[in-house]
Amino acid sequence: MKVSVEGIELHLAHPDELSVRWVGQEDAMRQLMAAWMVIDERDLPMNPRLLGKPGVGKTTMAYAAAKRLGRDVYILQATVDTRPEDLLITPVIEGSSHLKYVASPLLTAMIRGGVAILDEGNRMSEKSWASLAPLLDTRRYVESIVAGVKIKAHPDFRLVATMNEDSSTFDLPEYIHSRLQPQILIDFPEREEELAILRENLPFSPDDVLQFVTDFLQQAHAADESYTVRDGINIARYALKLNGTGKQPVRALLSAAIRSVLGDEALRYNVRL
Domain boundaries, the chain: 2-185, 191-269
Task: Give the CA distances from residue 101 to residues 110, 186, 193, in Å, rounded to whole numbers and listed in that order.
Answer: 16, 37, 44
pLDDT (0 to 100) of residue 272:
59
Residue ranges of E strands in the chain = 2-5, 8-11, 49-52, 73-77, 89-94, 98-103, 115-119, 141-144, 149-152, 158-164, 183-185
256 and 223 Cβ atoms separated by less than 8 Å = no
Angle at 150 between CA 145 and CA 152, to 5 degrees: 140
pLDDT (0 to 100) of residue 153:
97
Architecture in CATH for domain 2-185: 3-Layer(aba) Sandwich (3.40)
pLDDT, one tens digit per residue, over 49-69 is 999 988 888 999 999 999 999
pLDDT (0 to 100) of residue 93:
82
Low-confidence residues of the chain, pLDDT below 50?
A: none
pLDDT (0 to 100) of residue 271:
63
Torsion of CA 48, 54, 56, 59, to 10 degrees: 50
pTM given for the model: 0.87
CA-nearest of 251, 245, 177, 243 to 207 is 251
How far is Cα of residue 249 from the mean position of the Cα atoms in its chain?
35
Partners of 98 in beta bridges: 94
pLDDT (0 to 100) of residue 249:
72
